[in-house]
Amino acid sequence: MKSDLTICIRQLHDKGHSPGTSTNYSFKDNSNQIWVTRSGIDKINIREEDFILLDENGNVADAYKETKPSAETDIHTVLYNLFPDAKVVLHSHSVFPIALTSLMKGNHLSFSGYEMQKGLNGIVTHDGIVEIPILDNSQDMSFFKHELTYRKMELNQGIFMIRKHGFYAWGKDLFEAKRHLESFDYLCQCEWLILNK
């Protein structure tokens, strides 16, 4: 998993998902231990050694105490707690979702009629409305813990958005998490181009 995720992160970087050392990524190993990327890496150069092991309380394991984890590590641990089947959490700072949510006052994004809605968790047809929750941005990780727990029922598609920041995608494996990420990014790009035609 670590090897596959490292390759995936470099590919996501190439597609504009992690500019300027931003974003963070994690996975659960076969022992259900969580590994998260360390802070401040240019993702074009990310290596397997750049993952830090967390203990059962979500803190950095003793062997990695000298290494600074991503500032948003708590968002990853909250998602794994809320969704025990999740094995991978990806984070993106891609431009189109950010541009789109900068225009929106509401607390969710709606998509309807797109074939690619089927790339999101649990969606089997284009014929319906998909709503993805938007949270306001904050540097206070306890805010996200509270909001995500409170809004868990809105998180069924494996995606949530942070306004003018980026989005998180998760899944039961890397394949699924990446499908959620790419599908949501595609839908946001379509909406942005239609709104600005």
Chain positions contacting Zn ion, by CB under 5 A: 166
Tell me the β-bridge partners of 112: 129
Distance CA 42, CA 23 (A): 10
Q: Which is nearer to Zn ion, 119 or 166 (CB)?
A: 166
Q: Which is nearer to Zn ion, 43 or 178 (CB)?
A: 43
Min dist CB 178 to Zn ion, Å, is 17
Q: Supply φ then ψ for residue 163, to 5 degrees.
A: -60, 135
Q: Which is nearer to Zn ion, 166 or 171 (CB)?
A: 166
Distance CA 182, CA 195 (A): 20
Instruction: Determine the residue type at 16.
Output: G
Min dist CB 45 to Zn ion, Å, is 19
Distance CA 166, CA 127 (A): 27
Site of tokens 């998490």: 177
Sign of the CA dihedral with 137 first, then 109, 78, and 47 last: negative
Min dist CB 194 to Zn ion, Å, is 26
Q: Which is nearer to Zn ion, 117 or 165 (CB)?
A: 165
Min dist CB 49 to Zn ion, Å, is 22
CB-based closest residue to Zn ion: 166
